[in-house]
Structure 1
């Protein structure tokens, strides 16, 4: 099992719009496709920071879920066109991490 720690930089003034889009549209859609979203966060002192964590049981599962989500017509036609207005896609950072044996996030 591993996690994706995804860090995004929001465009100025777009924090509330991005959080609303994530919580009302993107996360529910991804969960409906089988994604496990562990958490979603904004920066306490950095208004331009958004972080979220997804969990995968294997690389094969990750590949399948990526295909199911990002290759879907709904993603391509409804969600993807909105994203560049709210976040800087070139500034996205994705780190693959694994929980330590005593981590509560197992």
Structure 2
């Protein structure tokens, strides 16, 4: 199933990550669910103690607009927004994507996401399917939950998203995969985030 997906990366005040995660898990997962928002994986960035990474998804852009208005105008966010916002230095690093969404299983260990900025998105998508996916699978690091940029207009401008760029990204169970040289296909070196699901204990 192809959904509208947000990959959200928050930079937090030093020492504030567990405060936000506790609030998020207690209030914002069920609060967004009640508004029709499917909250996916929530992660600590294992290489940055002040970064929180999470995903949420919607059936389409019209439903995204409706659900975001419902949640951010609703009682849960209104009751807790001051405390949540006080943890954040930046919450605008958001990729709007098309894909299946992703939530690590409860028993999962570390997860990685690889983010590529292709020179030619269509050509790189073909290269990925013909060459890169089989190579990674053979190496024991099969790509999971592949996503590509969604360029629809952001109809909820109160929450900015990154624009003017194309990405292809995927998740991997375990450590970040070793990649071949992709410089001929990409505008810049791939970015790989090592992530720990929030139920994996404090860090």
- TM-score of the alignment, normalized to the shorter chain, above 0.5: yes
**Offset of residue 38 of structure 1:** 1.4
Residue 35 to residue 91, structure 1, CA distance change in 2 (3 Å): closer
Q: Distance in 1 between matches of 2:26 and 2:82?
A: 16
**Offset of residue 72 of structure 1:** 1.4
The reply to whether residue 94 of structure 1 matches residue 94 of structure 2 is: yes
Counterpart selection for 1:65 from 61, 64, 67: 67
**Offset of residue 45 of structure 1:** 1.4
**Offset of residue 80 of structure 1:** 1.2
The answer for unaligned runs of 5 or more in structure 2 is: 100-124, 134-142, 147-203
- Please name the residue that 1:33 is paired with: 35
Instruction: Tell which structure's C-alpha radius of gyration is larger.
Output: 2
- Map 1:1-106 onto structure 2 (within 5 A): 1-76=3-78, 78-88=79-89, 90-99=90-99, 104-105=144-145
Provide the aligned C-alpha RMSD in A: 2.1
Q: Deviations over 1:71-96 (max 9, x none)?
A: 114322x11111222112x4531110
The answer for unaligned runs of 5 or more in structure 1 is: none
CA contact (8 A) 2:13 2:50 kept: yes
**Which gives a bigger RCO, structure 1 or 2 (Cα 8 Å, sep 6+)?**
1
Corresponding residue pairs, total = 104
Query: If each structure's helix is expressed as a fraction of its own residues, which one has the higher value?
Result: 1
CA contact (8 A) 2:9 2:53 kept: yes
Query: If each structure's strand is expressed as a fraction of its own residues, which one has the higher value?
Result: 2
